[in-house]
């Protein structure tokens, strides 16, 4: 489970995006980053969350945020998800759970009384210096961009 807390330095990572390009945390140095972890491409709740970011992309950019989504899906799955919903931001493929484990978002879940291992939908807001400023453990998927902006403006 998540052992990181607000005020911690964000763990460094590198991974491949939907285009097969290497992306690292250091690529976002000097920028505010919305690093969001989601369970699976093209599933109902994940799609709602991604489309909320898409629909508010220009507003988030205007406020100085970059968006980076991470899931255990592979690059090809991310390509289809990006194309199907016209997503204007980067998706990182993490099928080996390298980044997912660094951020502690993989763990036991429960659905209808059945326990299983899975990804906990979590968003980290990382500031320009690489410090975690906010962790959303239960993002409001339909209003997540608004939730992030509201938090940042209250700082």
Rg (alpha carbons) of the chain, rounded to whole number: 14
Spot the catalytic one: 23, 33, 35, 46: 46
3-state secondary structure of 85: helix
Whether 70 and 94 have beta carbons less than 8 Å apart is answered as yes
Beta bridge partners of 17: 92
Helix (H) or strand (E) holding 75: helix 75-85
What are 62's two structure tokens? 């205007």
DSSP state of 9: B
Instruction: Please indicate whether residue 51 is annotated as part of the active site.
Output: no
Catalytic residues: 46
């Amino acid at each position: 489970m998540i052992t990181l807390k607000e005020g911690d330095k964000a763990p460094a990572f590198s991974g491949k995006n939907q285009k097969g390009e290497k992306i690292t945390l250091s690529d976002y140095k000097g920028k505010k980053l919305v690093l969001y972890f989601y369970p699976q491409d093209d599933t109902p709740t994940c799609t709602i969350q991604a489309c909320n970011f898409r629909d508010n992309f220009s507003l988030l950019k205007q406020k100085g945020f970059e968006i980076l989504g991470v899931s255990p899906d592979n690059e090809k799955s991310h390509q289809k998800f990006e194309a199907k919903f016209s997503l204007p931001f980067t998706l990182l493929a993490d099928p080996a759970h390298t980044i997912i484990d660094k951020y502690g978002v993989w763990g036991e879940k429960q659905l209808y009384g059945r326990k299983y291992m899975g990804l906990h939908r979590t968003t980290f807001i990382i500031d320009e210096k690489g410090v975690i400023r906010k962790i959303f453990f239960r993002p409001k998927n339909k209003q997540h961009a608004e939730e992030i902006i509201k938090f940042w403006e209250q700082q």
